[in-house]
Chains A and B, each alone.
Chain A
Amino acid sequence: MKISRRSFLRSTTCGVGTMVGLPLLEVMFKSESAFADAPGTFPRFFAMYVPNGIIEEKWYPESGTKREFDLSGSALAAFQERGLKNDISLYRGLTNECDPGGSRGNPHMIAISSWLTGRALPSDRDQMHVPSLDQEIADALPRTKVHSLQLAGNSELDRPNNNVYFNPLKNALNWDRSGRLLPLKSELRSEFARLYAGINEDPTSNIDRRSALKLSVLDDVKEDRQRLINRVGASDAQRLEEYFNSLRDLELQIEALANNNPSEGGQCTRPMEEADIPNPQNGSRNNAIRDHAKIAAQITVQAFSCGLTHAVTYCAGGEAAGCEYRDIGINTHFHNSISHNRSGRYDQWVRIDAFHAELCAEFMYQMKHTPHGGGTLLDGTAVLFGSGLGNGDRHQHTDIAMMVGGHFGRWQHGRYHRFNGRSHADVIDTIRQEIGLPNNYGRNTVPIS
């Protein structure tokens, strides 16, 4: 594919001029590239997910053409108010891939599990899937100090009140490279600590004592690998392999940290005091997510800025879980009381939709106002915002919310695309293509201009 020099430069820092003409993939992901260690060269990814569906007729502007539309009055008004209208594209009328893809089972679970993967999970009982987009991007890039973040405003896990044989996990947004589910984290402070561990602690040493110990142990434990894997049967061996792979991964990550002395670059200072960061326990209910999201936005932006990680997702809440949105004066369980009482709670739900959009707009706003390379952090960051369900009351997967933002590849923004039941996986796979990932499952692409 031909890349115009201008859009190419928009998505990289200056100085890559000689590489024009090569596919983004080659430039970006070859680890021999001279830019392998320079933060800011690589695309970044941010996604935000909202659970339980939307009031679809209010989410998008009612009228408008592909290039002329007015967001005021819709749930997305916040984007317009904050000057982000030309940094986003709307995709209306999409159907979650779980339906055409034939997923069976709990509608919440199959919705969220296919949203970021763009593939339908066969059954809500499956414990393995394909990697989600954020993980693919993080895996394609050189290792960063923290591989990726899977944040959540409300990480409460919906649990059944009876011991069904298997509870389909409804926090199933992120799936790692081996197809395993990654848990959502609302403990923002702990995630922050992971990002900034070791920074500013001992500027003279590249690697702290604990990390040296870990490296030593990790090096030794490899000796057991072959013998143990040969001893057990094939399916058991898979689980051992998974463990050894994780250990190896960890080893590489710590080595990367050791070799990449942050004090030289100088950009990665702690942006805020840990004590100011909210830390709702993972798996517990968080009823007020506004401050949480704002601080998560700051942390994301800082982490992107100095290359601590390149892939962050923020899940407003797990599917079927019950954030009460006390920030906007609603005091009742989102799923149980609101999302299945659409007519009775219509206005509240509309306000929740608008609130979610505000939070995402906050993330994008902060990125847009952070200079980076020759432009801002929005240059080179792919943003995705939407829901897995449409009419959540009826558990429908049609007319889901979907918005793409940020400047990467050849994507043009300020567009309002309408479809009639097109699978949302086409959007996911188009992003894959434009970012330069090798695997896009051969799907059709959606218009990006």
Chain B
Amino acid sequence: MLVFGFRWVGVLALVVLLCACGGSNSSEGDNSELLPTEPGVSPTPVPTLEPGASPTPLPAPTSTPTAIPIPLPSEQPTPVPSETPSPSPTPTLAPPVQPTPIPTASAEPTPEPSAPPSPTPEPSLQPMPSPEPTPQPTPGGDGESLYKLASGSSASCASCHAEDGSGVAGRGGEILNCGTNCNSLSALESKIALSMPIGNAAACDNDCAQAVARYIWTALMGKSLDGQLSCDVGIQKTSPMRRLNKTEIVNAVHDTFGIGSEHFATSLADETEVVGGFATVGTALTTSREWTERYLDAATSVAEDIVAVGEFGMDCSADSGASLPFPPGFSLDGDQCNTTSQCRSVFGQSANDCANSGASNSICMCGGAPCADATAVDNEACVKTALTQSGNALFRRPLSEAEVNRFIGLYTAANDHDSGLQHIIVALLTSPNFLFVLPDDERETIRKLSDRELAERLSLALWGSLPDKRLLELAASGSLYEVLDSEIDRMLDDPKFDRFGEGFVAPWLGLGGYLIEGSDLNVSDEDWALLLEDMRTESKLFVAHIIKNNLPVNELYTADYSFLNSRLAEHYGVESEAGESEFKLTYFPREAHRRGLMTHGSVLAKAYDGTKTSVVKRGVVPLEAFSCGAPEPPDDPEIENAVNDQAAADKTEKEKIAERADPAQPCAGCHAVIDPVGWVFTEFGVAGERVAQDPDGDPLNTGGVLYGEMFADAYEMAAVIADRGDFETCFATKFLIHSLGRRVDKHSREDNCAIENVVESVGGPVGARDFIKAMLQSDISTVSGTIFE
């Protein structure tokens, strides 16, 4: 039995206080149910603690400051004064707060803190009293005192990490060398705000985290604050050079030639190595031997198709001379033909008659003159024209003369005209000038992107393809920046923007890798495939709608409508007049509780693991994708084993949630946010359809508490998350990873500041369209630094 100081009691008591404050009010002491069943009472899945309970021996903490168990003391803790402060849930980018609706007065540091006030001996879920939604002041004080002294009822940092930051064996790790967590002041701040102190992550938020981080940074690590504080670091980073990804290659071929792209679509593997979920980051887009072999083979097939159909060099008809195999009986001087089509087979399309075809001396006529006399079409010039037309588009710049000569050389060295054309196409497609997004130079200075580089960035980001003629013209004349705003508008209105759904929305939401099969929904596999495709379309159309119509970014999550066809409407259980192939804007009735992307079938279906829907995953998905606030999964093998044990255990979901909320275990720090979010969706089944029972088979009760606010259903929960204001920044982060092709991280001061600058530049609530335009025109998109990210 571990005996720890009162500070530990304090922490756990605080937590107990947070969750058990209702205990003295309610008379539910004997309630052995884990969730109250009265309607209208929102439960929190947080149990009260049994005072004096012996803890299960927890594993020794590792040196990483993530998983430090907090053992319960064995002795009876001293009673707590009732006015114990709790940390405030101020809306920021930072961490989830324990449900703490206790109104408090002042923040008095109490070194001898609390015992659970509730006398109830059994763990049970108590309903929370009406929460105090207004934010509370964070514990005050300078960084040093925050670090060294227990503040509020929390343990002090020093109690685990030692006063000099060197760590305490068995308690907290050394914080002087904490790896990426201390790369920058803002990273340190984020880490503290997000997960410290263990078990009560919200205790030190915002100002507290800032102050403590600064103290650690300066006093303990001895580093300077220079360059860490201001938001005028400018742009230092740049994106790694990358190749075009599979989608972009397919689109490029389609846009340039109109045909043949399906060979790439079928032969190339889907990009699986993605960073941040998006296949635009160069470090992950490789060209292994395997990949290159497939690529070259597909390119050869593409070229065959293009030439066979005549989409390249169409008017470059063959020589009218002696290089052709003449049909039997044909002689240049004598009888040339019997029919016009014979003439065409020799002289090409320009032949339009076989004159005197009845006689033994018929001549092929081209226009008004004998074909044999006609000047041969200048093959080379014609081919050159086709080459430069396609080559300039594929290379995004005019071909140099040397390049043109090389390609013509390939053409003339080939066996015949068609083969020569194929050679050219394959050479164009295999050239790094096509396949890679080449920077203008070595990126050794911080500079603006050139017009051409910017044109490429815009067209790849918005269209998933190569710049069109107009963009290339503007780039060539150096006037793209002047008309940047209207160009982006044009691109958003262009039909090619339809591809944005596949290029951005699909990776952002993760519209792949579903483990559901038809049998899980009692339908055939084909029907499920159709439904899934409809769900994907719904999400893509929805996001495109918000963007194109410049609706607020938050509406992505608070919209009470979506785009449904008849199949989806039936699946969701709402009325619709749409047919099977049309997706109409359909409003949801309030009682459907559906709201925004979080209740899209495509998103809800992701949490199915093959046998059941995971409540935890339903919580993590929106937190990760939409508010960028998902805690990192625990790294500790002991915790993994505990997770497996729980997963295999024969308990109800509600019991498991209660276990995870147990503040004696480190789970609660993260699961206090994940689980209420995941649980609110239990009224939606495996693929987002309405169900009548919760996963345990009990009547539905989807309510919960998040960031100190209660909600009864998904509709209300969406508002709670939206109020925190994380969505815009998170959306910006995701969009920027996609369009810049590099890691964009809110832990990075530079990225953080750059996004803040964008938000400030639009000033106030902004529509999604304006937001995207602002992002693409701001420094983060137009300036290239020297640090490869």
Residues of A within 8 A of B (CB): 104-105, 107, 127, 147, 157, 159-167, 169, 176, 178, 180-183, 209-210, 213-214, 216-218, 220-221, 223-224, 228, 231-233, 235-236, 239-240, 242-247, 249-250, 253, 282-283, 322, 332-333, 336-337, 340-341, 343-344, 393-395
Contact = CB atoms under 8 A, between A and B. Distances in A.
A336 B610 contact: yes
B432 interface: yes
Interface string B765-789: 0000000000000000000000010
Which residue, B289, B296, B410, B432, has most C-beta atoms of chain A within 10 A?
B289
A333 B286 contact: no
Interface in B222-263: 240-243
Contacts of A246: 287-289, 291-293
B624 A176 contact: no
Contacts of B442: 231-233, 236
B413 interface: yes
B432 to A, nearest CB: 6
B282 interface: yes
B288 A182 contact: yes
Which residue, B269, B430, B788, has most C-beta atoms of chain A within 10 A?
B430
Interface in B639-671: 640-641, 644, 647-648
B289 A162 contact: no
B512 A159 contact: yes
Nearest to A104: B635
A263 B269 CA distance: 32
13 contacts: A159-B510, A162-B510, A183-B269, A217-B296, A218-B296, A224-B431, A240-B432, A242-B286, A243-B287, A247-B292, A250-B289, A343-B648, A394-B641
A219 B443 CA distance: 30
A240 B611 contact: no
Contacts of B303: 213
B275 A217 contact: no
B423 interface: yes
Given A213-B426, A242-B287, A340 B272 contact: no
B624 A167 contact: no
Interface in B596-612: 606-611
B274 interface: yes
Contacts of A214: 296-297, 300, 426
A233 B291 CA distance: 24
Given A127-B283, A165-B276, A333-B609, 18 more contacts: A160-B510, A160-B513, A161-B607, A162-B625, A163-B625, A176-B288, A182-B288, A183-B269, A210-B297, A213-B419, A224-B431, A242-B288, A246-B292, A247-B296, A247-B430, A283-B270, A283-B272, A395-B637
B675 to A, nearest CB: 14
A218 B283 CA distance: 24
A157 B647 CA distance: 22
Contacts of A393: 644
Contact of A167 (B274, B287, B648): B274
A159 B270 CA distance: 13
Contact of B240 (A182, A235, A336, A340): A235
Contacts of A247: 292, 296, 430
B300 A233 contact: no
Nearest to B424: A217
Given A162-B617, A163-B625, A213 B435 contact: no
A161 B275 contact: no
A220 B411 CA distance: 12
A49 to B, nearest CB: 18
A231 B620 CA distance: 43
B601 to A, nearest CB: 14
A112 B435 CA distance: 32
B276 A166 contact: yes
Contacts of B439: 232-233, 236
Contacts of B297: 210, 214
Contacts of B292: 243, 246-247, 249-250
A395 B444 CA distance: 45
A180 B614 CA distance: 33
Nearest to A165: B276
B287 A161 contact: no
B410 A220 contact: yes
B286 A161 contact: no
A231 B243 CA distance: 16
A58 B275 CA distance: 40
B436 A240 contact: yes
Given A163-B624, A228-B432, A332-B611, A250 B406 contact: no
Interface in B276-305: 276-277, 282-284, 286-293, 296-297, 300, 303
Contacts of A161: 510, 513, 515, 606-609, 614, 617, 621
A209 B419 contact: yes
A163 B508 contact: yes
B624 A162 contact: yes
Contacts of A104: 635
Nearest to B273: A127
A333 B272 contact: no
Contacts of A250: 289, 292-293, 296
Interface in B432-472: 432-433, 435-436, 438-439, 441-444
A282 B515 CA distance: 16
Contacts of A166: 275-276
B281 to A, nearest CB: 10
B484 interface: no
B430 A159 contact: no
A300 B606 CA distance: 38
Interface in B369-422: 406, 409-410, 413-414, 419, 422
